[in-house]
Structure 1
Amino acid sequence: MTESSTHPVPLTVHVPLDAGRAYDILIGRELIETAGAQMAALGARRAAIVTDENVAALYGDRLRESLERAGLGSGVVTVAPGEGSKSYAGYAQVCDGLLALKVERGDLVVALGGGVVGDLAGFAAATLRRGVRFVQVPTSLLAQVDSSVGGKTGINAPLGKNLIGAFHQPRLVLADTAALDTLSEREMRAGYAEVAKYGLIADAGFFDWCESNWRGIFSGGPEREEAVAACCRAKAAVVTRDEREDGERALLNLGHTFGHALERLTGYDSARLVHGEGVAIGTALAFRFSARLGLCPGQDAGRVANHLALAGLPTRLQAVPGGCGDADALLDAMAQDKKVRDGALTFILARGIGQSFIAPGIDRAEVRAFLQGELAADPRP
């Protein structure tokens, strides 16, 4: 892409999938203004934007104007903000809206928003006319560093999170980091839980960097682009080796077994708990559980919880507004986790910071005893 002086050249992370499915992630400021030219380069003539009411008010017109400047016809499907739209009803609404716009297989579905919109629009694109091309334009930190990359799409079911879905890779990801300037502090903190996660999985050096530079990510310094690019490179490498989560890609779910259970038990009510907050609590729990099992040094578990708390994230079950039920309720919610095999729980645990691993067949009684202790523990980090 040729950029003018007003649009700095973005960072690029390449996702080298086979069979002509490779794509680029572009990371930088003001990418929404140049999105139309990028999408026209994909050979599309029309693009249908899927977004939520809040994001539409901020960026909907800017994206449509960019598409029009590039000669692309466009339409918009708008859903209510929040996890409630990532449902059977929300999926039907988006599909019906795209069909009303007469979206064809050669057109583009453009997900403009956070993780909810990306997952929902991606799943609609995966299934509409048995597969329509789509582009991710993530506007939250969480979506830019994690959910917009890798092709996981889907919706929630009453029995659990992300249980209905498909793998459907985007053709392009445009991570406009200027969009993060409009996020609330809570949304930035929630996204940061996924940033820290990448260091905790397999890159202790990146976690060290996060401990020193997290404030720059929040304030919009160059650290923001560096962090997004680092996370995208890490995820792209894993996705290229294990696209459909048959092995190591499950490591990206560090903290999510606990976190998804908490989201289900709070009814996906974002006023009580958003995804990144669930991941933060779940990550702290995963490290404390690892320490309890003698796998991880206790000081590493404490360091993880202390850093997440310093960034303003919850790290204890008692931090969930309105409570999260007892140990048995949590276990029942975990039983719907996608990593369950033959009824046995699988967790992502750690031998230390940057040393996470897949731990299948964890004894339910051990988990129950751990959760009971956590519920009765001092609620401080």
Structure 2
Amino acid sequence: MSEKIKIQSHKGQYSVLFNDNLLSELSGFLNKESHFLIDSNIARLYKTELGPILSSPNTILIDAKEENKTLEKIIPVIEQLVSNSVRRDHTLVAIGGGIIQDITCFISSVLLRGVAWKFIPTTLLAQADSCIGSKSSINLSSTKNILGTFNPPNEIYICTKFLDTLEKKDIYSGIGEIIKVHAIDGASSFDALTNDYDGLFNDKILLQKYILAALMIKKRYIEEDEFDRGIRNIFNYGHSFGHAIESATNYAIPHGIAVTMGMDMANFIAAKRQMLPENQYLRMNPILRKNYSQFSNTEISVDKVIAALKKDKKNTTTMLGLIFPIGESSSIERVQVPADSIFQTQCEQFLQGIKS
């Protein structure tokens, strides 16, 4: 597949380049002005292709774990870059998934008041969703994504051959974000994806089609609202509940799968509160449940979910700012709801119901 998308940002235009031959061309990124931040697992899986880069003194390997995406853990990475004589006219190159993306994007924003960066996403979730949009999100202690910046990469390079070494749960995780984007785009996009869902696991060309489609849908929203102050808020669909589920389970559920569960939870509560017609809830439920079914028996404390929801950055002083599908068209909208006993009961009903 050879495609190119151009994204407009506050720093100018950047490109997303699809290149099936990227693995054999990685050494071309190596020069004295480049500093590499690489997922240690990717370094292990692709040590031959990354050989010259891994031998560079300007390469830093990072375990792509949620606990390493914290301000405390990022400081040693910055210190290593400084030790490696990074300069403002150098470039950081991130090779990995969303965690490596967040770390690199954040560092590039604050180090020397701004260093350019490039991104080679190696997970389906990063390729189909998070790679565009300029955001970095960093955890502080146990609060997820409470810190962050908007700093787009100079270029993004997508090679779906990286997906061949992903665990099955990580494919489900990426598909969860693809489902989210198509739900936002409307019923026809969502229903088309539902019909093609099973093929995404064994048809690479079909999967590439949906990666490209998801990025093109997201492009429309982020170019209109790059700083997430308006319409882009709807891309948090499934995320408030999903982040709370991740936190409540100590990140035992992969992000995109938790988002799928969060979408289903939002739909369930919207139906209970008569914001979403029952027929629309039932239309969307089967594919969402199918995508998180392997984790449906995970023990999830409703008290921990509520506690995490109360920390969400979209809240006001007295209300939870949550994203729900509304009406017969299932349009995605932000709604303020009180964190009262009724809401807690509805959350508990959902969490108990998915186990049956």
Give the structure 1 partner of residue 287 of structure 2.
Answer: 307
1:153 to 136, 140, 156: 136
Question: Number of residue pairs matched?
Answer: 355
Q: Map of 1:95-106 to 2, 5 A cutoff? A: 95-106=78-89
1:29 to 14, 20, 38: 20
Work out whether residues 233 and 334 of structure 2, in 8 Å CA contact, stay in contact via their aligned partners in 1.
no
- What is the TM-score when the length of structure 1 is the normalising length? 0.86
- Structure 2 CA distance for partners of 1:32 and 1:98, relative to 1, 3 Å: farther
Give the structure 2 partner of residue 333 of structure 1.
Answer: 308
- Structure 2 CA distance for partners of 1:61 and 1:75, relative to 1, 3 Å: farther
Work out whether residues 290 and 350 of structure 1, in 8 Å CA contact, stay in contact via their aligned partners in 2.
yes
CA RMSD of aligned residues (A): 2.4
Percent identical: 26
CA–CA separation in structure 2 for the residues paired with 1:24 and 1:119:
18
Q: Map of 1:217-256 to 2, 5 A cutoff? A: 217-256=200-239
Of stretches 199-208 and 350-359 in structure 1, the one that deviates more from structure 2 is 350-359
- Per the TM alignment, residue 90 of structure 1 is displaced from its structure 2 partner at its CA by 2.5
Matched, 1:87 2:70: yes
1:216 to 199, 223, 232: 199
Work out whether residues 347 and 360 of structure 1, in 8 Å CA contact, stay in contact via their aligned partners in 2.
yes
CA–CA separation in structure 1 for the residues paired with 2:339 and 2:91:
45
Of stretches 142-151 and 345-354 in structure 1, the one that deviates more from structure 2 is 345-354
Work out whether residues 98 and 126 of structure 2, in 8 Å CA contact, stay in contact via their aligned partners in 1.
yes
1:167 to 150, 164, 170: 150
Structure 1 unpaired stretches of 5+: 1-7
Structure 2 unpaired stretches of 5+: none
CA–CA separation in structure 1 for the residues paired with 2:66 and 2:83:
24
1:357 to 317, 332, 350: 332
Work out whether residues 30 and 176 of structure 1, in 8 Å CA contact, stay in contact via their aligned partners in 2.
yes
1:188 to 158, 167, 171: 171
- Per the TM alignment, residue 74 of structure 1 is displaced from its structure 2 partner at its CA by 7.1
Residue 331 of structure 1 aligns with an amino acid whose one-letter code is: I
Work out whether residues 102 and 136 of structure 2, in 8 Å CA contact, stay in contact via their aligned partners in 1.
yes
The C-alpha deviation readout for 1:158-216, integer Å capped at 9, x for no partner, is 24211111111111111111111111111101111000001111232221221122233
SS of corresponding position for 2:220: helix
Residue 191 of structure 1 aligns with an amino acid whose one-letter code is: G
Of stretches 276-285 and 27-36 in structure 1, the one that deviates more from structure 2 is 27-36
CA–CA separation in structure 1 for the residues paired with 2:350 and 2:186:
27
Of stretches 134-143 and 363-372 in structure 1, the one that deviates more from structure 2 is 363-372
Give the structure 1 partner of residue 117 of structure 2.
Answer: 134
Residue 180 of structure 2 aligns with an amino acid whose one-letter code is: K
CA–CA separation in structure 1 for the residues paired with 2:163 and 2:19:
11
Residue 280 of structure 1 aligns with an amino acid whose one-letter code is: T
Work out whether residues 113 and 137 of structure 1, in 8 Å CA contact, stay in contact via their aligned partners in 2.
yes
2:91 to 108, 123, 130: 108
Q: Map of 1:264-279 to 2, 5 A cutoff? A: 264-268=247-251, 272-279=252-259
CA–CA separation in structure 2 for the residues paired with 1:74 and 1:34:
20
